[in-house]
Structure 1
Amino acid sequence: MAHPTLEGLSLQEEEGEGFSFEFEEEEEQVDLRWCLVGRFLSERAIHFNSMKVRMADLWKPVKGVTIKEARTGIFLFHFAHPLDMEAVLNGGPWTFDNNMLVLERVQLGMQIDHVPLFHVTLWVQIHNLPMGLMKEKVGTKLANYIGKFVEYDKNNNTSFWRQYMRVRVRIDVRQPLKKDTKVKNMAGE
Structure 2
Amino acid sequence: MAEDIGSMLSQIRIAEKDDGILPLHTMWKQNEANVGRLRLVGKLLSRRRINLNGLHNALMASWNPKHAFKIFKIGEKIYLFQFSDIGDLNKVIHRGPWNFSNSLLILKRFQASLTPEQYNFSTNPFWVRIFDVLVGLHSEQTGFMIGSSLGRVLEVDEGFKKAIRVRIE
TM-score by length of 2: 0.76
What is the CA RMSD across the aligned residues, in angstroms?
2.5
Counterpart CA distance in 1 for 2:141 and 2:29 is 45
Q: Does 1:119 align with 2:101?
A: no
TM-score by length of 1: 0.69
Counterpart CA distance in 2 for 1:132 and 1:144 is 20
Counterpart CA distance in 2 for 1:60 and 1:75 is 19
- Secondary structure of the structure 1 residue equivalent to 2:54: helix
Number of aligned pairs? 147
Indicate conservation of the 8 Å contact 2:128/2:165, yes or no.
yes
Q: Does 1:141 align with 2:140?
A: no
Counterpart CA distance in 2 for 1:135 and 1:59 is 29
Aligned-residue offset at 1:27: 8.1
Counterpart CA distance in 2 for 1:39 and 1:92 is 13
Counterpart CA distance in 2 for 1:87 and 1:131 is 30
- Secondary structure of the structure 1 residue equivalent to 2:126: strand
Gaps of 5+ in 2: 1-20
1:132–1:95 distance in 2 versus 1, CA, 3 Å: same
Aligned-residue offset at 1:50: 0.7
Gaps of 5+ in 1: 1-18, 157-161, 171-189
Aligned-residue offset at 1:48: 2.1
Indicate conservation of the 8 Å contact 2:158/2:164, yes or no.
no
Percent identity over the alignment? 27
Aligned to 1:4: none
Letter in 1 for 2:143: G
Aligned-residue offset at 1:130: 4.8
Could you say which structure has the higher helix fraction? 2
Aligned to 1:169: 168
